[in-house]
Structure 1
Amino acid sequence: MEWLGRLRQQPEPPRAPSRRHPAPTWREDDLRATWQLVSLLLSYPDDRLLGLLDDIDEALAGLPPEASGPLGRVVAHLRSVPLAALRSDYVDTFDTTRKCALHLTYYAHGDTRKRGIALVQFKQAYRRAGLEIGDDELPDHLSVLLEFGATGDVGIAWKLLNDHRAGVELLQLGLETRRSAWADAVTALRATLPPLDGTQAEAVARLVAEGPPNEDVGLDAYSLDPRLNPHPDDDLSLSDHFDVQGATR
């Protein structure tokens, strides 16, 4: 992705207390590799992606079966369907169906002011790890977040994924309802995450019943200077959220 070329070090602001999440149970190398492949396989199908399928197959051989199995099925689907049909299906699934949105903050906040603030917090989190992304792309896109976790700060990505776990679950439900082949990519991602806790399960149930909030105000807060954000991002350091040395597959 082009935004990786804009990686550069930034001064680190003071940190605030944050919610801790369970430690990963996968080895970090497997976690990063799985996230990288999920990011690729959830991207728009084009000649470049199809040209990477042999390399993806090779990488799958070294992953836990909880990831290699479902991701292998996605690869098989991409090989078996003509590119034009893949592109049409992708747009119909992810771009015209909000129940399968790849933007994680949409599920919790809809198109409300709170979503604008959440997007600012994503951007701040990336900046703290030295990554700047342009205003032409939203930082909560799942492929962007997973690419960041795979190649950058796995601890920050882990926190953001778990903070927005309800969105991951709703994306899975939406894809399964459509019987989409891309559901297997999210299945592999979910295998890397801890079981839902009570708060997350309640959030999923509430959003399934009620849907995202509805407030047609746009995303103006996202364009604000992040320094003006009244809700600074939580402490997102790797060591504060789990013990890397203790993580095993």
Structure 2
Amino acid sequence: MTVMLSHKTFKALSALLAYPTEELSAAIPEITAALAAERLVSNNAIEQLHPLLGDLCIMNLYDLQERYVELFDKTRRHSLHLFEHIHGESRDRGQAMVDLVEHYQRAGLLVTANELPDFIPLFLEFLSDRPLDEARGLLNETAHIFSLLEERLAKRNGGYAAVFTAALSIVNQAAMITDAAETNDEPDDLAAIDAAWEETAVTFGPGNAADGCSVDRMRIQMRAAKRDVRHSLAPETGGSDV
């Protein structure tokens, strides 16, 4: 059996996006140390995390929990579920969930009945036990969603935007350049993109087109979704950021 190196940085970011508890508050020194030790997150991003880390240490637990619910549970615009920002309530979301659960299971991660597989803290937890190149690659495929959440949460001054800033900083420049080069080879025609999307299942992980678990197929679908994300989540004219 292959032994994977666990990357504590992904676990740390996952914990910071979890519902605040006494255990989380007590673990902040350990989380801070893990982020500093592995150096996967940029120094600037770590500095931006300091307000949230401080809040989780010293704020009243009830106030922390109330803020968390206000941010993440009362608006779909800040949802911590990846497929909410791609499929919304469409039936495609169900198949995407199935594909993601199967990919987790192939990698040895069992999802409990009360957890949705696209919950971002769970996704980050999964990345913590994958080879670093693979983890960065999968993180890069969600970068457009993370960037949008970073932008929206920054307007709410809750400190959580910095978690997405930190996650995005893990994606190295080389991966971004490769992704841009691949994108340039794809059709610009929206009809062609739609056709590729419709023919492609939402999948994660290694494999081939026959077994329905190819990273390349996932990339086509995720990129096709990018052009709809900002429009579907954009605030209505004259409305508030809710």
Identity of aligned pairs, percent?
32
User: Separation in 1 of the partners of 2:141 and 2:127?
Assistant: 14
Q: Does 1:65 align with 2:43?
A: yes
Aligned pair count reads: 182
In structure 1, the partner of 2:30 is 55
CA contact (8 A) 1:109 1:115 kept: yes
TM-score (norm 2): 0.65
1:138 partner SS: coil
CA contact (8 A) 1:38 1:71 kept: no
Of residues 96, 105, 110, the one that matches 1:118 is 96
Q: How does 1:206-225 map to 2 (within 5 A)?
A: none
Q: Does 1:104 align with 2:79?
A: no
Alpha-carbon spacing, 1:86–1:106, altered in 2? closer, same or farther (3 Å)? same
In structure 1, the partner of 2:170 is 192
Shift of 1:142: 0.8
More relative contact order, 1 or 2 (CA 8 Å, 6+ apart): 1
CA contact (8 A) 2:26 2:57 kept: no
Deviates more, 1:190-199 or 1:142-151: 190-199
1:175-217 CA deviation, whole Å, 9 max, x = no partner? Answer: 1122221111111001012566566xxxxxxxxxxxxxxxxxx
In structure 2, the partner of 1:163 is 141
CA contact (8 A) 1:105 1:164 kept: no
In structure 1, the partner of 2:12 is 37
User: Separation in 1 of the partners of 2:165 and 2:156?
Assistant: 14
TM-score (norm 1): 0.63
Shift of 1:68: 2.6
User: Separation in 2 of the partners of 1:231 and 1:109?
Assistant: 22
Shift of 1:141: 0.7
Structure 2 unmatched ranges of 5 or more? 184-209, 217-242
Structure 1 unmatched ranges of 5 or more? 1-8, 10-27, 200-229, 237-249
Q: Does 1:88 align with 2:66?
A: yes
In structure 2, the partner of 1:216 is none
